[in-house]
Structure 1
């Protein structure tokens, strides 16, 4: 775990020890929260796990659902969350559960736990993952660095080189290269990671096949009780880096594909990556223009009454795999970390 996340963990523990879930009630919780999840599976390995923040264990999900209800939250479908958000009358706190990307373990590992707790959930699907035409580039990068003993890349802004002989070196190399590539055009990011994957013998299509739900399984999931299917674009690009028409097409085509393939009304969208550098006011306007009932970001925060006027820029609370503790979850449910993160602002939609 990086120093940054160690500090987060210490802060969550300290906040929990103050009894924030009690004295902070009503101060920062708003009407409720939308939770972000990705993988739910047993921890596959220790050591080098740069994407470990994207996976929690089934056991932690089970404890989390119990704790959410113990803290006074009702777990509701996303449509019900929007209905409650629009209702000016005070009501019980609520949580909506959302899963991004469409991973196999969401069905194999998460769904049995969700069914046990009768917890509804939303799955945001990338058709390109289902059809094996899009890339899990962050996983390609992880696997390439896991295999290679050193990294050398000639990039437009200069050469990148790093030793990757042990877990510590691999972790530092991943962080440095990931954030350097994220600063530039996504085409350069994809080309660079393709080079590394080829050198390491990582098969991008096989990786998606192993991790993501296929079309036929999604068809079987469509219409299942308690499950809402949403769109997550066609190929999972960082939309803010695309020309406007390309961004619009990614959103619109994903909705059309899912509606035609699954026979469902697709009402909800999740922006890939979802931070301010990946989705902003232009994308919020496009989602509204295309007729989505809601669109979620990864900007951290709870939901307040004012979010009813910004349904295409909704914040979420991440169940982070690096902080799988009840203390961390109680701190997050208190809303207080986000009040500090957003400098006292309830809205972060710019």
Structure 2
């Protein structure tokens, strides 16, 4: 199995090949959908540390600026999530469109992303996990990174597997993080949280303290909400991988999040982002829940552009992740063309299973 570093090198080589052959232009009429939804997480100017396994979740303000400029240059109309169902239902396609979404509710979105978006007049949606806004909840992927960064050796049991790996330098820490991440993601979420909590304590800090540091609180969200370009969506209450939980838990996570956001911010919440959002985290059951709860749209992290057939499935919309490991013009051109997703999705336009 390829390591994450090897996968990213392979992806970058693919982006360069697409750009070098001009496939991002001559295949775009076939590959590109009517539009797309871009996914962002952190936006911050600091360069990543030598050990930064979550670097894929962070881009710089300059790269966000480049992204918005390229969207305009390539003829994309920036739109809100509210507009997407109508745009998909139109008989004639019209110019391509793009909606911008930011997951989790990070403070750096207000500090570093909002000014760039304002300069471009770009509407955007911030998906808020309500526990994070309350200074609670577990950003376990950050906790895991911080624990491994502090430890010289990583020891734990997960799913009957014993992990005991050195973590003395960035390379060893990267291998240890990846081994723990893969083992824990494959099992129950309760075990994941417990084992990451154990590593936090072994590293000398308490789990559950990251949200207050990294995420916007309710007062900051209310201040941000004065910006007419920003809208808010629900990202559940505690950011669970919904498909790993019973139906009642999944329903309450979604509905309680929306109710809390609406009560705190005084505006309706019409859109949902499934946490993690891949196949192991959100599927047909979650799509049906979002529909039953009355959301206008719900977005996954399944990769792809939007096609007319998505009009009938607005609660299973794909998104295109702007990845911090690929902050390059060739990568952007490839993503906006839709060409990489021809291979990724094996020619399918609709992925709702």
Same fold flag (TM > 0.5): yes
Q: Which deviates more, 65-74 or 310-319?
A: 65-74
- Determine whether 1:102 maps to 2:101: no
* Residue equivalent to 2:277: 274
Partner of 2:138: 135
- Please say if residues 230 and 268 of structure 1, whose CA atoms lie closer than 8 Å, have aligned partners that are also in contact: yes
Contact 1:31-1:304 at 8 Å conserved across structures: yes
Larger CA deviation: 78-87 vs 173-182: 78-87
Mapped pair 1:319 → 2:338: no
For residues 48 and 318 of structure 2, what CA distance do their matches in structure 1 show?
31
> Would the aligned equivalents of 1:77 and 1:226 in 2 still touch at CA under 8 Å?
no
User: 1:72 and 2:75 equivalent?
Assistant: yes
Alpha-carbon distance in 2 for matches of 1:116, 1:131: 30
String of CA shifts for 1:232-272, please: whole Å, max 9, x gaps: 00000000000001000001111111111111110000000
**1:261 equivalenced with 2:264 (yes/no):** yes
Distance 1:134 1:232 in 2: 12
Work out whether 1:196 is the aligned partner of 2:195: no
The two structures have a TM-score, normalised by structure 1, of: 0.98
**1:344 corresponds to 2:351:** no
Distance 2:140 2:120 in 1: 33
1-structure distance, mates of 2:143, 2:83: 37
Aligned residues of 2:40 and 2:321 also touching (Cα < 8 A) = yes
- TM-score normalized by structure 2? 0.97
CA distance in 2, matches of 1:163, 1:186: 25
Match of 2:153 in 1: 150
Which of 30, 37, 41 does residue 38 from structure 1 map onto? 41
Inter-partner Cα distance in structure 1 for 2:159 and 2:331: 40
8 A contact 1:223–1:264 mirrored in 2 = no
Name stretches of at least 5 consecutive residues in structure 2 with no aligned partner: none
Give 1:158 deviation, angstroms. Answer: 2.9
Offset at residue 76 of structure 1 (A): 1.0
Q: CA contact under 8 A between 1:54 and 1:321: conserved in structure 2?
A: yes
SS of the residue aligned with 2:165?
strand
What are the equivalent positions in structure 2 for 1:299-318 lying under 5 Å apart?
299-318=302-321
SS in 1 for 2:164: strand
Within 2, Cα distance between the matches of 1:311 and 1:202?
42
Residue 164 of structure 1: aligned partner: 167
Single out whichever of 76-85 and 144-153 deviates more from structure 2.
76-85
Q: Secondary structure at the match of 1:224?
A: coil
Cα distance between partner residues in 2 of 1:47 and 1:233: 32
Q: CA RMSD in A?
A: 1.1
Question: What is the DSSP-based 3-state SS (H/G/I as helix, E as strand, rest coil) of the residue aligned with 1:92?
Answer: coil
1:114 aligns with 2:81: no
Deviations 1:200-240 (Å, cap 9, x if unpaired)?
12343432222100111112223531111000000000000
Q: Could you tell me which of 241, 244, 248 is aligned with 1:245?
A: 248
Cα distance in structure 2, aligned partners of 1:325 and 1:31: 24
Q: Which runs of 5+ in 1 are unaligned?
A: none
Matched, 1:87 2:108: no
User: Is the 1:163–1:169 contact (alpha carbons within 8 Å) kept by the matching residues of 2?
Assistant: yes
Distance 1:210 1:329 in 2: 31
User: Aligned partners of 1:347 and 1:280: how far apart in 2?
Assistant: 13
Deviation at 1:90, TM superposition (A): 2.0
CA contact (8 A) 2:303 2:341 kept: yes
CA contact under 8 A between 2:159 and 2:184: conserved in structure 1? no
Offset of residue 21 of structure 1 = 2.8
